[in-house]
Structure 1
Amino acid sequence: MSEQVPLQRALYVVSQFPCLCETFIVREISALIAQGVDVRILSLKPPSRDPIQRESAALLDRALHPHLLRTLTQSLTAIARHPGVVLGSLAAIVADSWRHPVVMVKSLVAVFRGLEHVSWLKGFDPQLIHAHWATYPTTVAWVLGRVLDRPFGFTCHAHDIFIERQMLARKIDDAALAVTISHYNVDWLSHHATPKAEHKLKVVHCGVDLDKNPWQPNGRATATILAVGRLDPIKGFETLIEALGLLRQRDVRFHCRLIGSGPMGDELRQFAHDCAVTDMIDFAGAQTQDVVRGSMNSATLFVLPSQVAEDGNRDGIPVALMEAMASGCPVVSTRVSGIPELIEDSRDGILVSERDPVALADAIQRLLEEPELRARLAARARVRIEHAFDARKEATRLHGYMAEVANGR
């Protein structure tokens, strides 16, 4: 048997880089680079105007971004040089998405932004083209793989499988490496996308950098509740605010800090007013990872009441939960999607039913009032993260899968 050659060059396709809320992708790329892989990043959108995380800033010189004129000229050049492959790919995309014109147009634009870099990519010669999110990034990775005659892979997470299933069965079938972040997703895709998912999908957790999330069980505030996440229906922050109102009615002392921005910002602020907890909750907006870590290191407990939204969207396994658990902050969450794979109720944290403000208030109150319980759950949670959600270990597993693909296995 021939010895496996290490993976040397990989291209990552992402929706946007840098992106404030996708630190898990940055950690994965950084871990692969630390293991000797030359990773380049193809961003389908220009950089956002959000603050740039330090980890992302260190990778900026590896990123390729779209340029309007170059997109037009270079993509046409790619079509002229590979007409059969490109036009066939575009036809497949149109056939899959013509009933959804917005998705179709966005897919075509994304593909052209990917084709813009074909000439450069031929020189870089990636052994694998890998995308995060099974939507537009994976569509581009699929097309580039066909144009460059290179294997492609992707990692799927949450909304990209629960809501936007773009050519998903074909992508799973065609991919040299299909990855998802939970066993829940494997089961769901096996029933809703293709039976092949059960055998083809590899589970690689999004993990946390344990060196940057050190164990800090001591010196915490006595009544500070922290919540971190996009202000979106799937996070269940309305349930959290309602639970806070119940705690106030019970004369429980607390202060809550909610870090994040999103479409529900104004609605949640109004709801906090309606629940008479405006003075007890701080809407802190989007913050850098350093600020988030500082808050996790000082909070009494962390709450993320994830829920299935009306449109079927839901979390995968929220990285913010992993980071809180790694830091020594005890957590409360819900039995939604892959979260029970991260947290065993009453062992690594407390789980309650989604959309149940009374159960959530009871769990929060219990943790606020029982320091011994907080300490026990926090200690077990750290062990759980070290065992199954260490970013370096998960990147090593992914690296192994990628190397097998690069070696033609």
Structure 2
Amino acid sequence: MSIRRKTLVVLKGYPRLSETFIAQELLGLERAGFDLTLISMRKPTDKKRHPIHDEIKARVVYLPEYLHDEPLRVLRAFFAGWSKPGFKPLLKRFWADLRRDLTRNRFRRLGQALVLAHEWPDAGEWLHAHFIHTPASVTAYASIMTGVPWTCSAHAKDIWTSPDWELTEKLAEARWSVTCTRSGFEHMRELTDRKEQVHLSYHGLDLARFGHFTTTRSSRTGSDPADPVQILSVGRAVEKKGYDILLHALASLPATLNWRFIHIGGGDQLAKLKPLAQELGIGDRITWKGALAQEEVLEHYRSADIFALACRIAADGDRDGLPNVLVEASSQNLVCISTDISGVPELLTDGENGFVVPPEDPQSLANALAIAIREPELRHRLGNAAERRVREHFDHNSSIRQLTHLFETEWQKTQ
């Protein structure tokens, strides 16, 4: 008989347009019979939300994002926890962490964990963190305070911007951890003696939402100024997405090629990217759409000719795992051009089902774009091959089955 324990899922923010993969997983677990309560460390900032967020039934509890915003809530939690058995072990752990990470954020995680432990929504029986950096810190602290075990899903930035000492300690404490790319999986396994408790689990795609696109794609070649090739990218305008690289690549395309570039997504760097496009002389060829809901993004996948994403490793070590937008675009037989960063080569193989170029290399990216623009038959062949790979290997139901097995196996051990 399967076991279902009330699980508190700790998230950095919810809902978020840029984290569809998490929402997809939460809905999949609910449909598999899991009883979830979502614990968000931040309130939403996106003006829109995906339809999938409305399908998730779990209650959402918001912790104080900044402790000074809700001082009475934090103080009540502190004094209520003072006499609890877990308080001294938690304080000991906190001071050990603080000596290595003397930041305000460390105090914030302690305060959020105390509030979570004090209020303890819906009589939770298990803790699960999405992201192994700050959400896992709150989760680990709450686990020490309450004695409730925890598990963790790690992704990309959280792995590569966390110090090794912190990852090692969290991997030793979590009952198990999963991550979504082989590079992240191998890095995490190098940092722990409990290698068997680290698992690789691709998010995959809810293929029911991304049905096969049966309409014939265009045969545009970039030769007609009245009918330019449509190049699409979806992603937040942040350093690791490499949009400055992409703009320089677009600017270096031959003047004889006719194209338009559409960007979907928010992000702080838009304020720099738009002037850069003007400086490069391509501003009039670009449409900046801002953040859009999933069904609108799907329509753009279906109307575009090429998808491009110039992933790179940011100065602070941040990088993508396997960007979900590449999986989504590929599911619509849309040819993708990207870089050999992190998990991208786990989906795309250059010349077989897409174009894969080195990061930080605008000229190589421009060469791939030029080929894709001029050769519609090649675009179609590579796009169809990419769709076959997604539908054969990236169905999110496989991930849900794997997670269900991991949870149930651990819950049986703790009966």
CA distance in structure 2 between the aligned counterparts of 1:382 and 1:197, rounded to whole angstroms: 36
- Report the Cα offset of residue 199 of structure 1: 3.5
Letter in 1 for 2:105: V
SS in 2 for 1:22: helix
* Structure 2 Cα separation of the partners of residues 250 and 43 of structure 1: 49
Q: Name the aligned partner's letter for residue 105 of structure 1.
A: F
Query: Percentage identity across aligned positions?
Result: 26
User: Are 2:232 and 1:231 aligned?
Assistant: no
> Structure 1 residue 97 and structure 2 residue 102: aligned?
no
Contact 1:131 1:138 in 2 (8 A): yes
Aligned equivalents of 1:180, 1:302: Cα separation in 2: 25
CA displacement 1:5-42 (0-9 Å, x = unmatched):
33343221101111121111110010111111112211
Match of 1:114 in 2: 116
Bigger Cα displacement from structure 2, 108-117 vs 312-321: 108-117
Aligned to 1:76: 78
Q: Is the 8 A contact 2:232 2:263 kept in 1?
A: yes
Q: 1:357: which partner in 2?
A: 362
In structure 2, what is the Cα distance between the partners aligned to 1:358 and 1:304?
14
The question of whether the paired residues in 1 share the 8 Å contact of 2:172 and 2:192 is answered with no
Quote the Cα distance in structure 2 between the aligned partners of 1:176 and 1:273. Answer: 51
Separation in 2, partners of 1:51, 1:216: 25
In the alignment, which residue of structure 2 is the partner of 1:300? 305
TM norm structure 2: 0.90
Aligned partner of 1:374 in structure 2 is: 379
What amino acid sits opposite 1:182 in the alignment? T
Matches within 5 A, 1:268-279: 268-279=273-284
Letter in 2 for 1:153: T
- On the 8 A contact 2:305/2:335 being kept in 1, the answer is yes
How far apart, in 2, do the equivalents of 1:52 and 1:180 lie? 25
Which secondary structure does the structure 1 equivalent of 2:314 belong to?
coil
Amino acid at match of 2:92: A
* Counterpart residue type for residue 136 of structure 1: T
Q: Note the C-alpha offset of 1:180.
A: 0.9
TM-score (ref. length: structure 1): 0.91
**1:32 and 2:29 aligned:** yes
Match of residue 153 from structure 2: 155
Amino acid aligned to 1:349: G
Q: CA deviation at 1:384?
A: 1.5
After superposition, the CA RMSD in angstroms is 2.1
- Give the gaps of 5 or more residues in structure 1: none
Instruction: Please name the residue that 1:11 is paired with.
Output: 8
Give unmatched runs, 5+ long, in structure 2.
65-69, 221-228
Distance 1:142 1:62 in 2: 21
Q: Cα 1:134–1:377, aligned 2, differ >3 Å: closer, same or farther?
A: same
Alignment correspondent of 2:67 = none
Q: Is the 8 A contact 1:226 1:257 kept in 2?
A: yes
Shift of residue 113 of structure 1?
3.9
Give yes or no for contact 1:179–1:204 (8 Å, CA) kept in 2: yes
Tell me the distance in 1 between the aligned counterparts of 2:373 and 2:3.
Answer: 49
Equivalent pairs counted in the alignment come to 398
Q: Tell me how far apart the structure 1 counterparts of residues 337 and 391 of structure 2 sit (CA, whole Å).
A: 19
1:73 CA displacement:
5.5
Query: In 2, distance between residues paired with 1:190 and 1:8?
Result: 27
The CA distance in 2 between the partners of 1:92 and 1:252, in whole Å, is 60
* Deviation for aligned residue 1:200: 2.7
Deviations 1:104-155 (A, max 9, x none): 223223323423432x343xx43x3111111121122223333343321011
CA distance in 2, matches of 1:258, 1:207: 23
| Matches of 2:302 and 2:111, distance apart in 1 | 42
Contact 2:308/2:336 (CA < 8 Å) preserved in 1? yes
The aligned runs of 1:7-406 (5 Å cut-off) are 7-59=4-56, 62-66=59-63, 68=70, 71-72=73-74, 74-76=76-78, 78-80=80-82, 82=84, 84-98=85-99, 99-118=101-120, 120-122=121-123, 125-126=124-125, 128-165=126-163, 167-191=166-190, 194-196=191-193, 198-216=195-213, 218-220=215-217, 222=220, 223-247=229-253, 249-406=254-411
Offset at 1:377? Answer: 1.4
**More displaced stretch, 333-342 vs 216-225:** 216-225
Helix, strand or coil for the counterpart of 1:404? helix
Please tell me whether the aligned partners of residues 210 and 328 of structure 2 are also in contact (alpha carbons under 8 angstroms): yes
Deviations 1:251-293 (A, max 9, x none): 2111010111112111111111111110111111111112111
CA distance in 2, matches of 1:237, 1:279: 17
Report the 3-state secondary structure (helix = DSSP H, G, I; strand = E; otherwise coil) of the residue aligned with 2:267: coil
SS of the aligned residue for 1:185 comes to helix
Distance in 1 of aligned mates of 2:237 and 2:135: 24
Change beyond 3 A, Cα 1:70–1:20: farther
Distance in structure 1 (CA, Å) of the matches to 2:235 and 2:179: 21
1:96 CA drift (Å): 1.6
Q: CA deviation at 1:76?
A: 3.0
Corresponding letter in the other structure for 1:129: L
